[in-house]
Amino acid sequence: MRKHTWTARLILAAGLLLIAALAIGAMRGPQLTAEEYAFADAVGVGEYAYTLNEIMAYTMGSFVLPLPDRQDAQAFRTCGSAAEHQGADFLVTQMISIGLDPVVKEPFPVQAYETRGASVQVISPTASEVMLASGYTGIDGTPDGGLSGEVVYVGLGRMQDYDALKAAGGSAEGKIVLVDVSEEDMYWLQFPHMEARIQGAIGMVVHWLEYGEIEDSVVTHDAETEMSIPAVSVSNKNFARIKEMAETSDDPVVVKIIDTADQALSGTSYNVIGYIQGTTRADELVIVADHYDTHWYGASDDGSGVARLLGIAKGLVDSGYQPARTLVFVATGCEEWGWTDTEYDWSIGAYNAIHNQHPEWAGKTLGYFNLEGGGTIGATSVSLSGMPEMENFRKKLLRPIDTYFNNTAPYMSYYVPSVAYSELPSTWADQFSFGSHGIGIMNVGSRRPRPPVPSAYHTQMDRMDRISAESLAMSIISNGVVAMRLDRSDVAPYNFAKWVKLMQGTLWGPTLSQNGIATSDFYAARDRFKREGESVWKRINGRGFEDTATATSMLLDTQKLVASELITVGGYVEPLFPHEHYQSDIWVLDAVIDLLNAGDIDTALEYLRWVYGMWEGTNVSPEVYQEMIINRRDPTRDDLFWATDRLAVYTDLYSEYFSLLAKRDTGDTDYSAELASIQAKYGDVQALLQGAIDSMTETLSTAADNLKAIQLLK
C-alpha cells in the first residue's frame, strides 16, 4: 500500500513536472537550434559590429569634417575615390582576419567622383559666415576659387516659375538660383537642374522639401542629371536665410559657392567578396551583402550594413558553424552613385556583381540577404520581408526569433513581436539587381525604434549617436538565424503560389477587358501556376524528395525564370510587374479620349498628367522633357545598368498636352488633331500591354511545367 502510494506520488510529481515543462515551452515558444544559440552567443551584444561601424563611419573618408567628440572624423567615401579604394582594402583585411576564404577584390569600371567639401557664403551686400554645403555625385564642382553670382529664388524650379519671374521683370540669366527641390512635385534633382541651365542660370543652391528634417542637416543625393552647372545643398535654416535676404534686400544678394569635387569618366571601383565554403552542397549558395560607399559619414547608410555583414560572418566562424551550402559575403562599391548622365546611376556595384562578374550565381543561390541600413538606436523588434516565394519560410521563423529575444537579456525588457511580409525588391538598393536576375531577396533586421528617430538620410547627421550595439546585434542575430535555417533546408523552401498572391492586387480586370486585352490564356496560366506551386509546397512540407539536390536545382531554375521575367522597372523608377506601367497608362488614355469626346478639356488635362512621365514633364521646358523622360528612359540605351532589358516604354504626350492647354486658354474647342494623336498612342500602349500580358502568360506556363516536373521526382 505504501509502495503503491509512493509510486502514485512519483507519477503525480512527474506529471506536474511535465505540465510545468509544457507550460514553460508554450510560454517560450519554438526554440533556436543549438548551433543558432552558439551563433547568437558568438555575436554577443554587438561589440565587434559597433566598433567596425565606427571605423567605417569616421575613417577612410575623402576629407576631415570634425565632430565635437571626434575631431578627426572623415566624410564621404564615394564611387571610385581614393577613400573607397582604401575602404575596399580594409574590408579585404577584415574578411581575411575573420577567416573567410578565399577573399577577392573584383574591379569594375565606373565614372568616379571625389569630393573634398563644399560651402556657400553670402559675400554681398554683407558677408556672412561660411555655411556648410554639399555637392552632388554626378555633377562637377566649381572652378578654382569658387563660383559667385547674384541669387534669385525660383520656387520649385519649374518652367512656370521662370515664366512668373520673367513676367515680374526678373531673370535667372547669369544668376545662381535658389530652388526648393521636391520629390513629390518634381521627382528628383535632374528636372529643376537642367531647367535652371536652360533658363540661363550659372549655378544652384538647393533645399530638399522632403529631406533634412533634423535642424542644421545638409542633404545630398545622387544627381541623375547632366554634368553642367554646379549645384549644392545647404541646411533648411541657411536656405531660408539666403532666400529671405534675396527677397527683402534693396541690393543684389551675391553668394559664393565652393564645391571641390572632381569627376573622372574613367575610373575603377571594387566589389569585395569573402566565402565560407559549404561542406555537403557547396555548389549551392546563400549570399549576404551590403555596400561600403557613403554620403557624409554614413553610420546608418551603410556603415551599419558593413558592420552587420562582417558581424554575421564573424559570428558564424567564431561559433564553429559548418554550412552545408557556400556562404558568400559581398561588400559592393558604388551603391550611392556610379555613372553620370543616366537615370539609373546607382547600385552599379551590385549590377556588376551579378550581371558581369558572377552571372552563374543566378540559378545557384537560395537567397540573397540585403543589409541596407539597420542598427538604429532604440530598435524594439525585427522585420522579415522579401520576395514572395519565401513568405511561408519567413513566417515560420517569426516565433523562434521572437522567443529568443523575448527570453534573452537585454532585449527581453523591450522587445515586441516581429513582422513578415512580401514585396518586390526595391530599386533603391542593391537587392534589385539580384532579385531581377532571379535570386530570392530577404530583408531582415531590427526595426521600430522607440522613441522614433528623425531621419538623417544622406545628411551629416547620419552619425554613430544614431547606432546602438544592441540594435546591431539584434539585426545580426536575426539575419544569421534566417540564413542558417535557409542553409539547413533540405530543399529550397519556395512556395511559388505566393507570387500569384502578390500579383493579384496589381491586375485591374475591368480595365484590361474594357481596353480589349485578351486575358483568358493568362488567367489560365496563372491559376495553373498557382496550383502547381501549392502542390510543390505541400510536397516540400510533406514526404519531401529523395534527391534533394535535384529538387532544389529545379526549384532554383524556376525561381530564376519567374523573378527575372516578372520584375520590371517602370513608373517612377519602381519595381513593377510587366503589365503595371502600361495598364495604368491605358486606363488614363481611355479616360482622356472619352473626356475629349465629351468636351471636358479641364479634366482631360488633369488626367494627362497621370500618364507616366507627364507629372514631371508638364512642369519643364520641352528640351528638359525630351532629355530626362524620352531620352533617359529609352529602353535601347546602353547605360541603363540594372534597368537593362526590363525598362518600360514611356509614352510621349508632351506636345498633345500643351497644345490642348493652349486651346483651352484661347477657347478653341476643336480637339480633333490632339484626339487623333492620343488615339494612335493609345493603340501603341494597348499593344505594349497585350505584349506584357502575353509574356507573363508564357513565363507562368513554363514555370508551371517546371513545377509539375518537380512533383514527378521521387
State the Cα torsion 550-553-554-558 to the nearest 10°. Answer: 170
Q: Where are the alpha helices (DSSP H) in 338-390?
A: 348-351
Q: Where are the beta strands (DSSP E) in 606-711?
A: none
Enter the DSSP assignment of 413. Answer: G
Residues in Cβ contact with 596 at an 8 Å cutoff, skipping those fewer than 6 apart = 604, 660, 671, 674, 675, 678
How far apart are alpha carbons 347 and 298 in whole angstroms? 16
Amino acid at 429: A
Pairing of strands 325-332, 365-370: unpaired
314 neighbors 92 (Cβ within 8 angstroms) = no
So what's the pLDDT on residue 28? Answer: 59
Q: Measure Cα distances from 16 to 10, 21, 27, 105, 115 in Å.
A: 10, 8, 16, 60, 70
Given its phi and psi angles, is residue 68 left (phi above 0), alpha (psi -120 to 50 degrees) or beta? alpha
**Which residue matches cell numbers 567596425?**
52
Amino acid at 9: R
State CA 172 to chain mean position distance.
35
Of the CA atoms within 13 Å of residue 187, those in its CB half-sphere come to 23
Domain 34-112+265-488 sits in CATH 3.40.50.720: no
Average pLDDT along the chain, 714 residues, taken 10 residues at a time: 34 38 50 97 98 98 97 98 98 98 98 97 95 96 96 98 97 98 93 98 97 95 96 97 96 97 95 98 98 98 97 98 98 98 97 98 98 92 97 97 97 96 97 98 92 93 97 98 98 98 97 98 98 98 96 98 98 96 98 98 98 97 98 96 98 98 97 98 98 98 98 96
Number of residues that this document lists for the chain: 714
Pairing of strands 568-570, 419-422: unpaired
Q: What is the CATH number of domain 116-264?
A: 3.50.30.30
Q: Grid coordinates in use for 111?
A: 565614372
So what's the pLDDT on residue 373? Answer: 82
So what's the pLDDT on residue 451? Answer: 86
Residues in Cβ contact with 420 at an 8 Å cutoff, skipping those fewer than 6 apart = 383, 384, 385, 391, 394, 395, 397, 398
The predicted-structure confidence for 131-161, as pLDDT tens digits, reads as follows: 999 999 999 999 999 999 999 999 999 999 9
257 neighbors 142 (Cβ within 8 angstroms) = yes
HEC assignment per residue over 608-629: HCCCCCHHHHCCCCHHHHHHHH
Q: Measure Cα distances from 131 to 121, 687, 702 in Å.
A: 6, 54, 60
76 neighbors 295 (Cβ within 8 angstroms) = yes
Residues in Cβ contact with 376 at an 8 Å cutoff, skipping those fewer than 6 apart = 300, 304, 446, 449, 453, 466, 467, 468, 471
Shared fold status for 34-112+265-488 and 116-264: no
How far apart are alpha carbons 165 and 153 in whole angstroms? 9
Per domain, the residue ranges of the chain are: 34-112+265-488, 116-264, 499-612+648-711
DSSP 309-330: HHHHHHHHHHTT---SEEEEEE
